[in-house]
Every structure is written in structure tokens, then in C-alpha cells.
Amino acid sequence: MCSPEHFAVEYAINPWMDVTAPVDRDLAVKQWDRLRETLIGLGHEVHVLTAEPGLPDMVYAANGAFMVDGSVYGARFKHEQRAAEAAAHHAFYESQGCRFIAPSETNEGEGDFAYVPEAHGGLILAGHGFRTEIAAHAEAQEALGRPVVSLRLIDPRFYHLDVALAAIDDSNVVYFPGAFSAASQRVLTQLFPDAVVADGEDALAFGLNLVSDGANVVLNSEATRLAGKLKAAGYTPVPVELAELKKGGGSVKCCIAELRH
């Protein structure tokens, strides 16, 4: 994770960003702290990357890389405003002794990659359409040695895969069908017949931008109906309030890079 101590909405690179809307940075830090404390309370170890001035989106730590079994495929951001973030993530993963694969293709890390380790022997789900180039999917497959399933995003409000889909345990996912092309919807139905399916209201509340340890699902507190669906499916929803960070186009998952050693 990376503190939002420099968080601001100074430019608009997704439909959620409004440069005229005020941001309460102190409140953003408080909400982020609560998220970090929630993860620690659930028994997880949290590493904190040092926030750098001039990089207001660095709080969205998930976008910096994608890690599977100790190997890390680095990010190459689409927008120049975020490009410098990649070096900070690279340095962190190298300090952890990870095998780091530098990207040639544009991709935004876990923003557009999700890993489902026990689905069909271990699948990487990969989004494209707005940020990550489809060529990066092939590059990730070579880098990480896992099959990659390409999914086309068609609604700019769901500009990253992680605002439309999430792994909820080692073999299943939750997603909002309307974010995907008709063909990609068919692929998801085939791969995950027992998936939890979210509605548009919860998707627009950033409910799918969640993290799960297979039992506890940490999600945006506004996504109340999705929390109910997850509870009915046997998970424990853990709601958190992240209204300030939503102003930059992110929520729980955007703030958390998962270290899969």
C-alpha cells in the first residue's frame, strides 16, 4: 500500500476524476489508515511504499505491477502523469528479492490483471480496452508462465478490470457483466459458472474493487447489495468507507497490491 499523503485530483484520466471537486486529503489519509488497519486486523502483513510528491495517484498501489509465485511483471502506465510511479514499484519488488520482468508493452499491473490460482490449473484474467494493451497479455503470459484469458472492457467507467471483476477465492470470481463485451461475458460464464454476479448499482459504487483472502471480502461500504450476495455465498463481507479515494477513480483493490510469493 502507499499513503495518500500527496493525493489530489489535479488531472482527469478516467471518468470519475473531476478537477473541480474538492478533495479532503486528511480524510483520505484517515480512510486509507482504516483500510490498512482492517487488513492487519484480519491477520495480513502490510508493506507501505513511500509516497512521492508530484505523484498524486501513487495511493493506487495495485497498478504498479502484477505478482504471481514470486515473479513480478512490471507496469508501464498509459498516461504520462503516472509513468514515474513504475520505478518506485520496481525498486520495492527488487528489495524483496523478487524476480522482476520489465515490461515492453503498456499495462497497469493489477489494475488489469487478476489471478485465480486454482481455476483450470491457474488462470490470469486480463482486461484491455482502455489502459492495458492486448499485446501486454501475451507478454505477461511469457513472463509469468500462466495462461492468460483476455477480456474486453467496453464501458469507460470500468476502465480497469479491477473495477469490474475480482477473485474472491482460489477458484471463483465476482464480476459485473455489463462492463464486458458480449464475447467476454460468454467466456466468463464458461470459465466461472458459479461466479457471484453483481448489478450495475454496486459496480458503480466500486463494490467490485475489492480484496478477498478467500474468507473475508474487504469492499466499499456503499456496495450493500453485493455485500449481501457475498454473505449468502459463504463469505464474510468487511465494509470500509473510501469516499475520498473514490474521487480519483479507485477504491479498496486499487489501494492494495497483493504479494503472491
Annotated active-site positions, please?
A: 160, 254
Task: State the cell numbers at 81.
Answer: 502523469
Contacts of 33 (CB under 8 A, 6+ apart): none
CA angle 40, 115, 253 (to 5 degrees): 45
Task: State the cell numbers at 38.
Answer: 482492517
- Label residue 180 exposed, middle or buried (CB < 10 Å: 0-12, 13-18, 19+): buried
Task: State the cell numbers at 32.
Answer: 486509507
CB atoms within 10 A of CB 199: 15
CA angle 112, 211, 53 (to 5 degrees): 70
- The three-state secondary structure class of 143 is helix
